């Protein structure tokens, strides 16, 4: 494949992903500020978008289309997939996914991060997007960590057996995983915004 084809393909993928996350953000704003509640079942577009992005980005890394390390992709995706597949899909009765404040905080943090990230990949010459890409994570990552942890913690009582212990173990991994991603982003920030 030619480099111009790969570049066009990646631009299309990133533009599509930015658009999907923009839709998720707008949908979240609608439910939080107008409806004051999430629909049942909630977050369908969010689930499909995250699974789509996770799958495609791992393939991009495997085939060398991007330089993102696979462990970084897996670490970032793991936490989100625990929430979306492991709780929203697997434990739909958990009240944590209907908490308008915590779950919407999670969606705000994820969607704003992804809109900026994917837009930056499309418009790499934009100094504003570059600054936002390597600065907004300072606030958005802790919001995401707090919201994700709250969601997992408040879903324990709706599961049992192996999955109960899996969630207990997963939440213990949140802090080291967060610290790893957070420090990685600070290193990237120092490199890019020197």
pLDDT at 40: 59
- How far is 73 from 85, CA to CA, in rounded Å? 17
Q: Name the domain count of the chain.
A: 1
Categorize the per-residue pLDDT at 50 as very low, low, confident or very high, splitting at 50, 70 and 90: very high
Q: Which residues contact 101 (CB under 8 A, 6 or more apart)?
A: none
- How far is 13 from 187, CA to CA, in rounded Å? 26
- How far is 188 from 52, CA to CA, in rounded Å? 25
Domain that includes residue 46, residue range: 3-192
Catalytic (active-site) positions: 141, 148
Over residues 70-122, the pLDDT tens digits come to: 887 887 788 899 899 999 999 989 998 888 888 889 999 999 999 999 999 99
Q: What is the pTM of this model?
A: 0.92
């Amino acid at each position: 494949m030619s480099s111009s084809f790969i570049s066009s393909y990646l631009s299309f993928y990133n533009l599509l992903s930015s658009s999907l996350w923009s839709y998720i953000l707008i949908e979240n704003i609608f439910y939080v500020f107008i409806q004051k509640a999430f629909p049942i079942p909630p977050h369908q577009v969010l689930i499909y978008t995250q699974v789509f992005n996770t799958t495609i980005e791992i393939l991009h890394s495997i085939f060398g289309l991007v330089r993102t390390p696979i462990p970084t992709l897996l670490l970032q995706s793991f936490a989100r997939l625990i929430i979306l597949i492991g709780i929203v899909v697997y434990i739909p009765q958990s009240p944590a996914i209907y908490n308008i404040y915590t779950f919407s905080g999670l969606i705000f943090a994820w969607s704003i991060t992804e809109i900026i990230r994917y837009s930056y990949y499309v418009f790499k010459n934009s100094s504003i997007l570059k600054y936002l890409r390597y600065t907004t994570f300072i606030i958005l990552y802790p919001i995401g960590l707090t919201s994700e942890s709250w969601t997992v913690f408040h879903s324990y009582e709706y599961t049992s057996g192996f999955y109960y212990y899996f969630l207990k173990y997963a939440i213990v991994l949140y802090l080291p995983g967060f610290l790893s991603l957070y420090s990685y982003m600070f290193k990237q920030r120092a490199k890019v915004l020197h």
